Amino acid sequence: MTNYRTLITRDIGEKAIASIQKISEVDVWLESTPPSAEQIKQSLKDVDALVCMLTDPISREIIESAPKLKVISQMAVGTDNIDVAFATQKKIPVGHTPDVLSNTTADFAFALLLAVARRVVESHNAVHQGNWQPWGPYVWSGHDVTGSTIGIIGMGRIGQAMARRAAGFDMKILYHSRTRKPEIENKLDAEFLSLDALLERSDFISLHTFLSEDTHHLINKKSFQLMKENAILINTARGAVVDQKALIDALQSGKIAGAGLDVSDPEPIHPTDPLLNLPNVVITPHIGSASIQTRKRMAMMMAENVTAALSGKEIPYCANPQVYS
Ligand code: NAP
Ligand code: GLV
Ligand code: GLV
């Protein structure tokens, strides 16, 4: 046994922990709520590897509090909670979990899309409250999904998985991304548009960008003005990609028809947030990748990243490969 130390900020499961224990002593934060920034900071002094979650703010200050740190290994594909630029400057590889969760997350985004379009949660709640309205010609009528137009913003791994699902529903696929992707356009019969043109033409708008300075409030007051009145916004990316105040205004004023949100700004959402009183909004607590199978695979990927780094090897799932050049 070496004298490495690894801090794991949540219980990631026996198998992944045992795999890290082959190379390092391990401290696991066993509580069901995340540690605070201060608690992480205090635990990092002698730590060689940090296994963290997207709820952990891994700032420059936190990274600086860990002089021995050789790897940051996160249980998520998005790394916006980590100061990756500073980690790169310090030559610390940042591990993440791409690809393995793309289908699982797109399944969930599509579940939200169907749920909002067809009023699944609203009508379910009514039934549970004793209000089963008898079948009627227009009772609980929603919006058709099959044959409608979807606008995918961020045609990356999850955006493409979403497009494949949309194709199965005979949807017209529009997309906007930083770069145009001719191969995907051919394969999925997808049309590249400017952001504004996509917003004007889509019945469903699904967000799949990472969060960055460029994508912060990418969907804002002006965006909602461009959308159709029947538009439904699906966000499984990050809460701050949307100006949530503008979203609330758009929903309350009937500017758009509904929203399906797996993410919020902030998380958890405040219990008095007006979004929670809107019947045409389905909100889930950031569970897009939460299938048992995918979460177990993600945990093993994080363990692989840690064992590689502590063995002096390049980590296999790296968000900042520049550290190796
Ligand atoms: P990815 O492959 O890196 O895809 C992100 C896409 O966003 C890229 O295709 C990129 O475009 C595009 N993009 C970046 N900046 C943009 C901009 N300003 N305008 C338009 N498009 C822009 O990442 P992924 O694996 O699909 O994951 C995407 C994000 O989903 C993650 O970062 C995370 O925030 C979120 N996520 C959420 C859950 C959940 O539980 N709800 C689960 C997994 C992931 P180009 O390729 O054209 O450069
Ligand atoms: C989840 O939100 C992820 O980024 O993996
Ligand atoms: C509905 O249940 C139908 O039979 O159309």
Question: Does residue 250 sit in the same domain as residue 307?
Answer: no
Question: What is the predicted pLDDT for the residue at 101?
Answer: 98
Percent of the chain with pLDDT over 70: 99
Question: Does residue 78 sit in the same domain as residue 49?
Answer: yes
Question: Does residue 127 sit in the same domain as residue 257?
Answer: yes
Q: One of 176, 201, 286, 297 is an active-site residue; which one?
A: 286
Closest ligand 1 atom number to CA of residue 180 = 47
Percent of the chain with pLDDT over 90: 98
Distance from Cα 96 to the centre of ligand 2, integer Å: 9
Q: Is the pLDDT of residue 23 over 70?
A: yes
Supply the mean pLDDT for the chain: 97
At 231-252, the pLDDT tens digits run: 999 999 999 999 999 999 999 9
- Residue of minimum CA distance from atom 4 in ligand 2: 78
Give the ligand at the shortest distance from the Cα of 135: 3
Distance from Cα 238 to the centre of ligand 1, integer Å: 9
**pTM (global) more than 0.85:** yes
Q: One of 267, 270, 295, 297 is an active-site residue; which one?
A: 267
Residue 276 corresponds to which tokens in the numbers above? 């929670």
Cα–Cα distance list, 191 to 147, 197, 231, 270 (Å): 15, 11, 18, 38
Is 238 catalytic? The answer is yes
Q: Is the pLDDT of residue 64 over 80?
A: yes
What's the rounded mean pLDDT across residues 35-40? 94
Question: Does residue 232 sit in the same domain as residue 261?
Answer: yes
- Residue of minimum CA distance from atom 3 in ligand 2: 76
Give the ligand at the shortest distance from the Cα of 136: 3
Give φ, ψ of 144 to 5 degrees. Answer: -70, 140
Distance from Cα 140 to the centre of ligand 3, integer Å: 14
Residue 241 near ligand 2, beta carbon < 6 Å: no
What's the rounded mean pLDDT across residues 63-88? 98
Question: What is the predicted pLDDT for the residue at 221?
Answer: 98
Question: Does residue 111 sit in the same domain as residue 239?
Answer: yes
Distance from Cα 220 to the centre of ligand 2, integer Å: 22
Dist. CA 25–CA 5, nearest whole Å:
5
The answer to whether residues 146 and 191 touch, using CB atoms and an 8 Å cutoff, is: no
Could you tell me the residue range of the domain that residue 304 belongs to?
A: 5-99+292-324
Q: Count of alpha carbons within 13 Å of 124, Cβ hemisphere only?
A: 8
- Pocket mutation for ligand 1, best pick of 210, 262, 282, 301 (most atoms within 8 Å of C-beta): 210
* ∠ CA 186-187-188, rounded to 5°: 95
Question: Does residue 85 sit in the same domain as residue 115?
Answer: no
Question: Does residue 199 sit in the same domain as residue 137?
Answer: yes
Distance from Cα 75 to the centre of ligand 2, integer Å: 8
Closest ligand 2 atom number to CA of residue 76 = 5
Rg of the chain (C-alpha set): 21
Dist. CA 127–CA 84, nearest whole Å:
47
- Which CATH number characterizes residue 82's domain? 3.40.50.720
Question: Does residue 76 sit in the same domain as residue 146?
Answer: no
Give all strands (DSSP E) within the chain, no chain letters.
5-8, 25-28, 49-52, 71-74, 94-95, 149-153, 172-176, 190-192, 204-207, 232-235, 258-261, 281-283
Q: How many domains does the chain have?
A: 2
At 168-208, the pLDDT tens digits run: 999 999 999 999 999 999 999 999 999 999 999 999 999 99
Is 119 catalytic? The answer is no
Dist. CA 66–CA 56, nearest whole Å:
15
Is 286 catalytic? The answer is yes
Residues with CB under 6 A from ligand 1: 77-78, 98, 101-102, 105, 153-159, 176-179, 208-212, 214-215, 236-238, 262-263, 286, 288-289
Distant-in-sequence contacts of 87-94, Cβ < 8 A, 24+ apart? 87/58, 87/63, 87/320, 87/323, 88/320, 88/322, 88/323, 90/63, 91/323, 92/63, 92/323, 93/305, 93/309, 93/314, 93/315, 93/318, 93/320, 93/323, 93/324, 94/318, 94/319, 94/320
What's the rounded mean pLDDT across residues 45-54? 97
Q: Is the pLDDT of residue 2 over 90?
A: no
Residue 249 corresponds to which tokens in the numbers above? 């205004």
Question: Does residue 51 sit in the same domain as residue 197?
Answer: no
Token pair 């701050």 is found at 240
Closest ligand 1 atom number to CA of residue 214 = 18
Q: One of 238, 270, 297, 304 is an active-site residue; which one?
A: 238
Distance from Cα 290 to the centre of ligand 2, integer Å: 10
Dist. CA 89–CA 83, nearest whole Å:
10
* ∠ CA 76-62-90, rounded to 5°: 85
Q: Could you tell me how many residues make up the chain? A: 325
Question: What is the predicted pLDDT for the residue at 125?
Answer: 97
Question: Does residue 138 sit in the same domain as residue 219?
Answer: yes
1 — pLDDT class (breaks 50, 70, 90): low
Question: Does residue 106 sit in the same domain as residue 252?
Answer: yes
Distance from Cα 159 to the centre of ligand 1, integer Å: 7
Question: Does residue 114 sit in the same domain as residue 142?
Answer: yes
Residue 179 corresponds to which tokens in the numbers above? 């770069």
Q: Count of alpha carbons within 13 Å of 179, Cβ hemisphere only?
A: 5
